[in-house]
Amino acid sequence: MNYRVLGKTGLRVSEVGLGAEHLQGLPAEQVFAVVDRAVERGINIIDVFMSEPQVRTDIGRAIAGRRDKVILQGHIGAAWLDGQYRRTRDADQCRHFFEDFRERLGVETVDIGILHYIDDEADFDRVFHGDMLRYALSLREKGVIGALGMSSHNPVVARRAVETGLLDVLLFSINPAYDVMPGDAALDRLFDAESYRSPALGGIEPERARLYQTCAAQNVGITVMKSLAAGALLSDRTSPFGRALTPVQCIHYALTRPAVASVLVGCRTPEEVDAAAEYESSTAAQRDYSGVLGTAPLFSMEGRCMYCNHCLPCPAQIDVAAVGRLLDMALLHEGGVPETAAEHYRALSAHAGDCIECRSCERNCPFRVPVVERMRRARELFGE
């Protein structure tokens, strides 16, 4: 495994890191197996944005006794309320759930504290002129967090944040599809079909390039999320370039942006960890993504679910990301719903049939996913 310095933090992070979001809902043994394999493969950075208590506890048990081998990226502003993930800007809630994070993870200090998911200008202003930022800065002053970061999908907002000089780290969504998208508007532009027809396609959209260069200039290290666009780039059918990229090409693409130190790959099994870590032994030819990006796009990625659950809370207690993941699995599978998907679906505590079509998730979704329509489809396919 190669290691890179994460900007001004001085931390040496593995080029391939672990995004832990897909561990939520898995049996504890599987969580342990994934973390074990990651550590064995030299992965030393783990992002844990989830606020769900059990997965926090299980990850804490998985890293117990080897804290020195893991650089933890934890989020400030991810709450667990009424049995669901929720984004919060309330400083007391931030404090409560960040203390919960430390307690359940079994750690005194967190290497990187991330201001969670700031995508629009109004939210940026609220956080950066409010108690939430003051709380986060106090954590850094006291050494409870070693570095301060922020997560975002919006290059304009992210650059504003970096230019404050307050951040050490940026957690940003980077993949070749997003990078050709206009960066001068809210995230929904990311999925605008017209953007894919832009003559600028084939080069990085200037606002995004400017963000990466600003990070490099200010020595703000970038950790990367959504490098595979939730798998959409891995199939000819769903890739906006009309041709699939491999995980190695996607990881390499992100690692070749300025200031990027680590690409956090979401893994559910030890085998998926191995597949991500295989990047390290890949050849230059295997990493080369230019052939795919030189082709014209076929269609927009608008409306593709990233399984992030940023759309919660749901009044019907539906885990929208889990339903979406199982729905896509069923839709991609030829010959009907695979039994594993049906089994996982049955085990969910609330199903698509419970959806009351309030559309609150659609308003909260940064990716403009037609959730209600997908819930109807899931109900048809899974029967509840």
Partnered with residue 79 across adjacent β-strands are: 86
Q: What is the phi-psi region of residue 231: left when phi exceeds 0, alpha when psi lies from -120 to 50, beta otherwise?
A: left
How many residues lie near ligand SF4 (CB under 6 A)? 27
Whole-number minimum distance, CB 27 to ligand SF4, in Å?
22
Question: By CB under 6 A, is residue 375 in contact with ligand SF4?
Answer: yes
Among 213, 218, 269, 360, binds ligand SF4 (CB under 6 A): 360
Give the number of C-alpha atoms closer than 13 A to the C-alpha of residue 131, restricted to the C-beta side. Answer: 8
Whole-number minimum distance, CB 20 to ligand SF4, in Å?
16
| Candidate segments 65-73, 118-126, 261-269, 370-378, binder of ligand SF4 by CB under 6 A | 370-378
Residues 124-163 touching ligand SF4, rule: CB under 6 A, are none
Q: Is 110 or 314 the residue whose CB approaches ligand SF4 more closely?
A: 314
Among 324, 328, 330, 345, binds ligand SF4 (CB under 6 A): 324
Interface characters, 284-323, with ligand SF4 (x: CB under 6 A): ---------------------xxxxxxx--xxx-x-xx--
| Candidate segments 93-101, 128-136, 184-192, 365-373, binder of ligand SF4 by CB under 6 A | 365-373
Q: Is 117 or 135 the residue whose CB approaches ligand SF4 more closely?
A: 117
Cα torsion angle, 177, 181, 183, 189, sign: negative
Q: Is 150 or 314 the residue whose CB approaches ligand SF4 more closely?
A: 314
Buried residues in 192-213 as b, exposed as e (16+ CB within 10 A): beebbeeeebeebbebbbebbe
Question: By CB under 6 A, is residue 18 in contact with ligand SF4?
Answer: no
Among 81, 346, 358, 384, binds ligand SF4 (CB under 6 A): 358
Whole-number minimum distance, CB 191 to ligand SF4, in Å?
10
The Cα-based distances of 116 to 24, 70, 75, 89, 166 in angstroms read 18, 20, 5, 9, 15
Q: Is 9 or 84 the residue whose CB approaches ligand SF4 more closely?
A: 84
Residues 343, 363, 88: CA angle, nearest 5 degrees: 85
Among 353, 372, 376, 377, binds ligand SF4 (CB under 6 A): 372
Question: By CB under 6 A, is residue 193 in contact with ligand SF4?
Answer: no
Q: Which residues contact 78 (CB under 8 A, 6 or more apart)?
A: 49, 50, 51, 85, 86, 87, 88, 97, 116, 117
Among 129, 134, 333, 359, binds ligand SF4 (CB under 6 A): 359
**Cα–chain-centroid distance for residue 189?**
19
Q: Tell me if 264 sits within 8 A of 21, measured CB to CB.
A: no
Binding site residues, ligand SF4, CB under 6 A = 305-311, 314-316, 318, 320-321, 324, 355-361, 365, 367, 369, 371-372, 375
